[in-house]
Chains A and B, each alone.
Chain A
Amino acid sequence: MRDTYLITKNELMVTMRNPFWIFHGLLQPIIYLVLFGPLLNGVAGTRGFPSTNAIQFFAPGLLIMNALFSAGFEGFTLQDKVDSGFLERLRVTPISRLSLALGFILQSSVTLLIQSAVLIVCSLFFGLKLEVWGTVALVFLILLIGVTMASISFSLALLTREGGILAGITNTFILPLLILSGVMLPISFGPPAIQMLARIDPLLYAVNASRALMAGAVGDPSVLAAFVVFAVLSVVCLGAFIRGMREAVA
Chain B
Amino acid sequence: MATPIIRTEKLCKRFAGHKKEVVEAVRDLDLDVAKGEIFGLLGPNGAGKTTTMRMLCTLLLPSSGKATVTGFDLATEAGKIRRQIGYVGQKGGMEQVATGRENLMLHARLYGMSKADAARRIDALIARLNLTNFADRKTNTYSGGQRRIFDLASGVINAPELLFLDEPSTGLDPQSRARVWEEVRALHEQGTTIFLTTHYLEEADALCDRVAIVDAGRVVALGSPAELKKQIAGDIIALTYDGAPQVAAAMRLLDGNAGVLERHPLDASLQLYVDRGDEALPVVLRILGQGGAPPKAVHLTRPSLDDVFLKLTGRTLRESESVR
Beta-carbon contact of A17 and B97 below 8 Å = yes
Contacts of B141-189 to chain A: CB distance below 8 A: 154, 158
In the assembled complex, which residues on chain B have CB atoms less than 8 Å from the CB atom of A136? Answer: none
- A249 vs B90: C-alpha distance when bound (angstroms): 15
Beta-carbon contact of A85 and B82 below 8 Å = no
A131 within 8 A of B: no
Interface bits B89-112 vs A (CB < 8 Å: 1, else 0): 111111111100010001101111
* In the complex with contacts A3-B110, A94-B111, A94-B112, A88-B89 CB distance below 8 A: yes
**How far does the Cβ of B127 sit from chain A's closest Cβ, in whole Å?**
23
Interface bits B287-317 vs A (CB < 8 Å: 1, else 0): 0000000000000000000000000000000
A193 within 8 A of B: no
Out of B57, B83, B90, which one reaches A94, CB within 8 Å? B83
> Which of A6-14, A64-72, A229-237 lines the interface with chain B?
A6-14
Beta-carbon contact of A93 and B107 below 8 Å = yes
Nearest A residue (CB) for B61: A247
Out of B58, B60, B83, B154, which one reaches A89, CB within 8 Å? B154
**How far does the Cβ of A78 sit from chain B's closest Cβ, in whole Å?**
13
In the assembled complex, which residues on chain B have CB atoms less than 8 Å from the CB atom of A95? Answer: 110
A220 within 8 A of B: no
Contacts of B57-79 to chain A: CB distance below 8 A: 57-61, 79
Beta-carbon contact of A89 and B112 below 8 Å = no
In the assembled complex, which residues on chain A have CB atoms less than 8 Å from the CB atom of B92? Answer: 84-85, 89
Beta-carbon contact of B98 and A85 below 8 Å = no
**How far does the Cβ of A97 sit from chain B's closest Cβ, in whole Å?**
10
In the assembled complex, which residues on chain A have CB atoms less than 8 Å from the CB atom of B39? Answer: none
* In the complex with contacts A92-B82, A94-B110, A85-B95 CB distance below 8 A: no
Beta-carbon contact of A88 and B93 below 8 Å = yes
| Total number of A residues with any Cβ neighbor in B under 8 Å | 23
B87 within 8 A of A: yes
**How far does the Cβ of A158 sit from chain B's closest Cβ, in whole Å?**
13
In the assembled complex, which residues on chain A have CB atoms less than 8 Å from the CB atom of B38? Answer: none
**How far does the Cβ of A22 sit from chain B's closest Cβ, in whole Å?**
15
In the assembled complex, which residues on chain B have CB atoms less than 8 Å from the CB atom of A247? Answer: 61
Contacts of A1-51 to chain B: CB distance below 8 A: 3, 6, 10, 13-14, 17-18
- A17 vs B97: C-alpha distance when bound (angstroms): 7
Out of A83, A89, A96, which one reaches B107, CB within 8 Å? A89
In the assembled complex, which residues on chain B have CB atoms less than 8 Å from the CB atom of A17? Answer: 97-98
Beta-carbon contact of A93 and B82 below 8 Å = yes
Beta-carbon contact of A14 and B110 below 8 Å = no
**How far does the Cβ of B6 sit from chain A's closest Cβ, in whole Å?**
15
Nearest A residue (CB) for B79: A94
Out of A87, A88, A90, which one reaches B110, CB within 8 Å? A90
**How far does the Cβ of A98 sit from chain B's closest Cβ, in whole Å?**
12
- A3 vs B97: C-alpha distance when bound (angstroms): 20
- A184 vs B301: C-alpha distance when bound (angstroms): 77
Nearest A residue (CB) for B110: A93
Nearest A residue (CB) for B88: A89
In the assembled complex, which residues on chain B have CB atoms less than 8 Å from the CB atom of A96? Answer: 79
Out of A13, A83, A84, which one reaches B94, CB within 8 Å? A84
**How far does the Cβ of A11 sit from chain B's closest Cβ, in whole Å?**
9
A91 within 8 A of B: yes
Beta-carbon contact of A86 and B95 below 8 Å = yes
Beta-carbon contact of B91 and A88 below 8 Å = yes
Interface bits A88-131 vs B (CB < 8 Å: 1, else 0): 11111111100000000000000000000000000000000000
In the assembled complex, which residues on chain B have CB atoms less than 8 Å from the CB atom of A10? Answer: 95, 98, 102, 106
* In the complex with contacts A6-B106, A85-B90, A92-B97 CB distance below 8 A: no
- A18 vs B98: C-alpha distance when bound (angstroms): 10
Which 5 pairs of residues, A with B, have the shortest CB-CB distance?
Answer: A89-B93, A85-B91, A85-B93, A93-B110, A92-B87
Binding site for A on B (CB under 8 A): 57-61, 79, 82-83, 85-87, 89-98, 102, 106-107, 109-112, 154, 158
Q: List 20 A-B contacts (CB under 8 A).
A: A3-B110, A10-B95, A10-B98, A14-B97, A14-B98, A83-B91, A84-B94, A84-B96, A85-B89, A85-B90, A85-B91, A86-B93, A88-B89, A88-B93, A91-B58, A92-B82, A92-B87, A94-B111, A94-B112, A249-B60
Binding site for B on A (CB under 8 A): 3, 6, 10, 13-14, 17-18, 83-96, 247, 249
Known contacts A88-B59, A89-B154, A92-B59, then 16 further A-B pairs from the complex at CB < 8 Å, ordered by chain A residue: A6-B109, A6-B110, A10-B102, A13-B98, A13-B102, A18-B97, A83-B91, A84-B93, A85-B93, A86-B95, A88-B91, A91-B58, A92-B82, A92-B85, A94-B83, A249-B59
